Amino acid sequence: MKKILILGGGISKEREISLETTKQVNNVLKKKYKTLVSEPNDNLIKKIKLFKPDVIFNALHGRFGEDGFIQTILEGQRIKYTHSGALSSFLAMDKILSKEIFLKNNILTPKFIKFSFKDKLNLKILIKKINKKLNFPVVIKPMNEGSSVDVYICSKKNFLANLKKLKKYREILIEKYIPGREIQAAILGNRKLGIIELKPKRKFYDYKAKYSSNAKTEHIIPVKLKKNQINKVLSIAMKAHKLLGCKGVTRSDFKFFKNKFYLLEINTQPGMTKLSLVPEIAAYKGINFLNLLEWILKDASINR
């Protein structure tokens, strides 16, 4: 029987989501495999040596779990692990680095400004810069958080008040707000798995819209787009997946506006909760949750 160590929890702001992903993954895998759930703490190496897993399923989300940090530790243990490797995880998690790569490779992404709270930039000058380069409304967000944590859509009127809320981060991203439809595309290795559309009842597809059933976000599948449009968005997702050197499963977030797809970001460790999108897309394509998890496990390797 295969032994699988499931890494979950962690110290990021997405801890609760990771615990939910871990729970769903473990509930399914423990029926067929010997599983052990572990936090990525000081006892991790000891647990790995005692349990001797065949594969480590990385169910962490956010910083220290999805940004290359834990991947570097796992590489050092020479045990197969799932999802993307250290470098691609780091690149995907850093919103500015990944956007620069997208732009250099002709992938459309919203215009942006990098802002550091260390800079003694006059806020009036910053607003002038935004007016010149982006125009309001804008989106402000941390450079390396996921799950729409601390993301705000700002008008000129509420910009400074929202900016203050992000002061705990050294650097943030100020991005041109793109209206339009929320489209998410899933890639499974070399396969363009499929897409799903989201219609949030909230202002945008924020943390609550993603993870609370009370938010009543509408999940639309199949998506009402032309075949060539579906092929296009999946091709962009695959191109981004390959450009960053991603492995396993990824989910790319797009806005579709005026017949153009804008890539917002790529997620190297998509959620596996009851409201998560990749399992939903997979199910629509005839891949049940166990089969999806087994594909991810089979894809695991060292030197990712």
Backbone angles phi, psi at 167, to 5 degrees: -60, -20
pTM of the prediction? 0.90
Torsion on CA atoms 53, 38, 288, 190, rounded to nearest 10: -70
| Token representation of residue 17 | 């989501």
Per the residue annotation, which of 8, 10, 12, 14 is the catalytic one? 14
Q: Is 256 exposed, middle or buried (0-12, 13-18, 19+ CB in 10 A)?
A: buried
Per the residue annotation, which of 211, 252, 262, 304 is the catalytic one? 211
Per the residue annotation, which of 58, 89, 267, 276 is the catalytic one? 267
* 186 dihedral zone (left: phi>0; alpha: psi -120 to 50; beta): beta
Task: Tell me if residue 66 is catalytic.
Answer: no
Task: Tell me if residue 291 is catalytic.
Answer: no
Q: Which CATH architecture has domain 3-82?
A: 3-Layer(aba) Sandwich (3.40)
Specify the pLDDT at position 206.
45
Tell me how many degrees the CA angle 300-279-17 measures, rounded to the nearest 5: 85
Task: Tell me if residue 147 is catalytic.
Answer: yes
Residue type, 65: G
Per the residue annotation, which of 253, 262, 276, 304 is the catalytic one? 253
| Token representation of residue 142 | 């941390």
Per the residue annotation, which of 251, 252, 276, 304 is the catalytic one? 251
Closest CA to 98 of 254, 244, 304, 262: 244
Specify the pLDDT at position 1.
64
| Token representation of residue 151 | 């993301």
Q: What pLDDT, in 10s, does the model give residues 117-167?
A: 877 667 778 888 899 999 999 999 888 765 467 788 998 889 888 888 888
Tell me which fold the domain 112-176 belongs to: Dna Ligase; domain 1 (3.30.1490)
Task: Tell me if residue 150 is catalytic.
Answer: no
Q: Is 167 exposed, middle or buried (0-12, 13-18, 19+ CB in 10 A)?
A: exposed
What CA–CA distance (Å, rounded) separates 188 from 268? 11
Please, which pLDDT band fits residue 213 given cuts at 50, 70 and 90? Answer: low
For residue 45, how many C-alpha atoms fall within 13 Å in the half-sphere facing its CB?
9
Domain(s) labelled CATH 3.40.50.20 in the chain stretch across 3-82
Per the residue annotation, which of 89, 147, 148, 252 is the catalytic one? 147
Compute how many other C-beta atoms are within 10 angstroms of the C-beta atom of residue 11.
Answer: 14
Task: Tell me if residue 231 is catalytic.
Answer: no
Domain(s) labelled CATH 3.30.1490.20 in the chain stretch across 112-176
Q: What pLDDT, in 10s, does the model give residues 173-182?
A: 999 999 999 9
The CATH class for the domain spanning 91-107+180-299 reads: alpha beta
Task: Tell me if residue 14 is catalytic.
Answer: yes
Please, which pLDDT band fits residue 279 given cuts at 50, 70 and 90? Answer: very high
Mean pLDDT of 14-43: 94
Task: Tell me if residue 265 is catalytic.
Answer: yes
